[in-house]
Amino acid sequence: MTLRQFISAVAVKRKQIIAYAADDEPVPVEQFETRNVTVKRRKLPRDGPPGFVVIRDDDGFAGSLSLDELRHLVTPPIRRPWSDGGETSYRALFEILDNTVFTSFEKKQMVAMSREIEERAWRVGHGTLRCGFQSLEALRKQRSVYSRLVEETDLDVHVYLADEQGEWPVDGVTAHVESSDEIGRTWLVVYDGSTYTMAACALIAEEVEAGRFRGFWTYDEELVDELLTYLTTTYE
């Protein structure tokens, strides 16, 4: 199974997003509307309660979010993994939308989602973190974050790149420079959780056009383990 096939496998898990909002209220749900994610809209009176969305899966009700929370997810601030400055955590939002394929996320959204996984790894402080940056230039932009993850934790950090044109910017990581097309087009951050398997999580997304990504994030321990097995057997 390739990384693209992992995305396709998650895409067959049906979900329904029902947005309750006034007619003139914008609802940022288009990025989740795929062949297997149905988005519906229900009208609220203009002077009624604040808008919200309900997520349902094959097992029934999966959770609900206010429209403000959903907007926070699709237009997130970027924070450092070790930040304790009172930023609103969107872990609850991720858990509700776990294993839901998004169709068109931009780089800022991808960085914010990556931070959620990097923060878990930072807080546990050990285990294996595997990250795909596509290019050396992308890794350079995250130099301060990954240098600190390596220097101030016991994490075993592996980095996957499609090219190595220039000086390697981060000491202490295990480098995997691969000619594979999928490494060149895939953004990945996968953490095994170490001895805390409930902390296992992953983000996998394919760049479908310049700066726009399609993929999913997951807290499913078995799926994370399958992704790690794929990476270690294919690229080690």
What distance in Å separates the CA atoms of residue 10 and residue 223, rounded to the nearest whole number?
Answer: 10
Residue (of 46, 101, 102, 105) closest to 75 by Cα position: 105
Average pLDDT over residues 46-62: 86
* Tens digits of residue pLDDT in 81-114: 555 543 444 566 677 778 878 777 888 888 888 8
- pLDDT tier, 60 (very low <50, low <70, confident <90, very high otherwise): confident
Residue (of 118, 124, 63, 125) closest to 94 by Cα position: 63
CATH number at residue 47: 3.30.870
Domain residues for the domain of 152 are: 3-234
Q: Give the count of domains, the chain.
A: 1
Average pLDDT over residues 200-229: 93
Say yes or no to pLDDT of 145 above 50.
yes
- Torsion over CA: 170, 172, 178, 183 (sign): negative
Q: What is the pLDDT of residue 91?
A: 62
